[in-house]
Amino acid sequence: MSRQDHVSSASITEAYYLKLNNLPPHTRREDLEAFVSRICEVDRVFIVPKTGQGWVCVKHKHNFHRAYECLHQAKFGGRTLLVAEHNKDGPIFIRVPLSVEPDNPDRGRPDVPKATISTVVEAMEQPATNKL
C-alpha cells in the first residue's frame, strides 16, 4: 500500500526525486537501486506496485546529474525508462509506502497535518459551531 505525499523542491532540500515510468512489472527495489548505484550514491528507491512507476531519490546535485544520465531512456529489464526531473526546480507529489513517516525532514510539508480516515470521521461527527 502507498499514499501520495508532497515533496519540496530539491533546490531547497538537496534531495532530488526522479520519477520513473515504464518499469517492468516485477521490478524489485533492490534491482533498481543496484542499477543506479553503479553510477552514483542512492538515498532511497520506491516502486509503486503493479503500476510500472516508481522513483529514485539522490542527495546533492552531482548525484542528480549522474542518476538522470543513468536512467534517462535507459534499457532496464527490456524496457526503455521514462524519467521526470521536475523536482530539481519545484515541488512534486510522489507515492510513498504507508510506513514512511510524514514528518521526514527531507520530504513533504511537516507543517501541514496529515488527515486520516478516523480524524475526518471525528471532525464530521463534531457539532458545527458558528462563532461570528
Contact 31, 20 (CB under 8 A): no
List CB contacts of 19: < 8 A, sequence separation 6 or more: 53, 54, 55, 83, 84, 86, 87, 92, 94
> Tens digits of per-residue pLDDT, 29-76?
999 999 999 999 999 999 998 899 999 999 999 999 999 999 999 999
> Higher-confidence residue: 126 or 111?
126
Q: Which structural domain range is residue 65 located in?
A: 2-125
In a domain, residue 130? The reply is no
Contact 108, 58 (CB under 8 A): no
Closest CA to 4 of 63, 59, 53: 53
57/32 Cα distance (integer angstroms): 12
Q: Is the pLDDT of residue 115 over 90?
A: no
In a domain, residue 89? The reply is yes
In a domain, residue 90? The reply is yes
Question: Does the pTM of the predicted model rise above 0.85?
Answer: no
Q: Torsions phi, psi of 72, nearest 5? A: -60, 110
In a domain, residue 132? The reply is no
> Alpha-carbon Rg of the chain, whole angstroms?
18
What are the grid coordinates assigned to 82, written together? Answer: 521514462
The domain that contains 81 carries what CATH number?
3.30.70.330
What pLDDT score was predicted for residue 110? 45
List CB contacts of 59: < 8 A, sequence separation 6 or more: 14, 15, 16, 41, 43
In a domain, residue 131? The reply is no
Q: Is the pLDDT of residue 106 over 50?
A: no
> Tens digits of per-residue pLDDT, 7-36?
999 999 999 999 999 999 999 999 999 999
Q: Is the pLDDT of residue 131 over 50?
A: no
What's the domain count of the chain? Answer: 1
